[in-house]
Every structure is written in C-alpha cells, then in structure tokens.
Amino acid sequence: MGFLGLFDAGLFAAQVANQSTVLAIDPAATARFNSAYMLVYFVGGSAGTAFGAAAVSWFGWAVTAFIAAGAIVVAAAITVSVRTARA
C-alpha cells in the first residue's frame, strides 16, 4: 500500500504541475485551456491503456515494458531538445 500511495501522489503532483504550466499560457482563458488539457489527458490515458493491454497480449510483458521504456526515452529527448532550443 505504501508504494502505491507514493506513486499516486507523484502522479497527482505531476498533473498539478502540468496544469499550472498550461493555465499560465493565457490567464484570461483558463477554462478553455483546462478543458483542452483534461480532454487530451483522459483520451491519451485511455489510448495508452488500450494499447498497453493489446501490446501485452500480442508481445508479452517484457517487450511491452521495452516499448514503454523506449517511449520514455523519446519523450525525454524531445523535452531536452525543445528546452535547449528555447534557451
């Protein structure tokens, strides 16, 4: 239970940080930006869950974990390159 609670708290903190970033784009349009953020958040989560379940049945757990790790590396590389370009 302890690890799961810590994991959930970390995910919640990340969502709050992401929402703060999105809402800072235009303080006059917070409702619109929050709606768009939540739509993308839940659609992305649903698609990821569907793909993950299908991938485990198609490829097995090890390959699915490798695909997820690869996606994390690609996302990190994109984040670093965008932040470097802005600096």
Residues 33, 22: contact at Cβ < 8 Å?
A: yes
Q: Spell out the domain ranges in the chain.
A: 2-86
**Full-prediction pTM beyond 0.75?**
no
Residue 18: pLDDT above 70? yes
Give the C-alpha separation, 58 to 5, whole Å.
30
Q: What percent of the chain has pLDDT over 90?
A: 61
Among 5, 46, 39, 4, smallest CA distance to 19 is for: 39
Strand, helix or coil for residue 21: helix
Whether the per-residue pLDDT at 83 is higher than 70: the answer is yes
